[in-house]
Copies of this chain bind each other. A is one copy, B any other.
């Protein structure tokens, strides 16, 4: 179970080709073939069908393990190297679009910041790997409940703020005049599924304890304005933190009153931040 073997295995599984994987990894096709054979012999079972190349049942299982494993490996090396190497000057911050409130933006230092907008699940990974010193993740929870992050590595998280959640509806929507909405009444509505820009429907399903919330349109970008425009145009409802939901032309933001959910954003970093990262952490926390 050498990590190298695992790495070639996942690439082979991804590109569904030995030769292509070899090219990608800079090996010969022969080496890749031997890697897979070694893994299969080690585990005592075929992992891939050949022609077409596709994971077997055991292979699927291994895939589930391999990705987080390799991620953790990268995270470990990055974490140790980071605390050894010189504190770089630039500061990279990975965040979801909805996690970037005005307070956060105001706290950023004037220069030398790289802001990287990523999908929600990629942020802990990016911070762990060292692609970003700090991460801002948001999500839906009960007040004061921490978010659930994929546990990719030993990361530290702090809550940096909670905000009410609103449903964004077109002005013409029959419910647009309400003062507050109950989630249970919206189970059968048409929803936008925008896991990277808005708040994921999966959080809603979990909060509501049941299924429903079938998506009418799926938006795969990370641009909140587009998402809001989609909602205003009547393509479906979406949830946004209040600040992001107000002032959208053609749409109104109605607070969600039941269940009691908040839009919570958390700061995540690995180990002990240094330099500009540490300063930003302090700045964000002192007012939290």
Give the distance in Å from the alpha carbon of A77 to the alpha carbon of B42 in the complex.
Answer: 9
Instruction: Enumerate chain B residues within 8 angstroms of A80, measured Cβ to Cβ.
Output: 43, 45, 58, 61-62, 65
Of A67-75, A102-110, A163-171, A175-183, the one with at least 4 CB within 8 A of chain B: A67-75
Give the distance in Å from the alpha carbon of A198 to the alpha carbon of B153 in the complex.
Answer: 29
Q: How many A residues face the partner with a CB closer than 8 A?
A: 34
State whether the Cβ of A81 lies closer than 8 Å to any Cβ in chain B: yes
Copies per complex? 2
Instruction: Enumerate chain B residues within 8 angstroms of A72, measured Cβ to Cβ.
Output: 65, 68-69, 72
Please determine whether B76 and A69 come into contact, CB atoms closer than 8 angstroms. yes
Q: Is the interface of A mostly helix, strand, loop or mixed?
A: helix
Instruction: Enumerate chain B residues within 8 angstroms of A288, measured Cβ to Cβ.
Output: none
Q: Give 10 A-B pairs besides A65-B79, A66-B76 with Cβ atoms closer than 8 angstroms.
A: A2-B2, A43-B80, A43-B81, A58-B83, A61-B79, A65-B72, A65-B75, A68-B154, A69-B73, A150-B151
Instruction: Enumerate chain B residues within 8 angstroms of A84, measured Cβ to Cβ.
Output: 43-45, 58
Residue numbers of A with Cβ under 8 A of B are 1-3, 42-45, 57-58, 61-62, 64-66, 68-69, 72-73, 75-77, 79-81, 83-85, 144, 150-151, 153-154, 209, 271
Give the distance in Å from the alpha carbon of A64 to the alpha carbon of B44 in the complex.
Answer: 31
Contacts A3-B1, A151-B151 given; does A76 touch B62 at CB 8 Å? yes
**Leading 7 A-B pairs by shortest Cβ distance:** A151-B151, A65-B76, A45-B84, A62-B80, A64-B154, A43-B80, A69-B72
Q: Which residue of chain B has its CB nearest to the CB of A62?
A: B80
Minimum distance in angstroms from A196 CB to a CB of chain B? 23
Highest count of chain B CB atoms <10 Å: which of A3, A61, A80 = A80
Q: Which residue of chain B has its CB nearest to the CB of A148?
A: B148
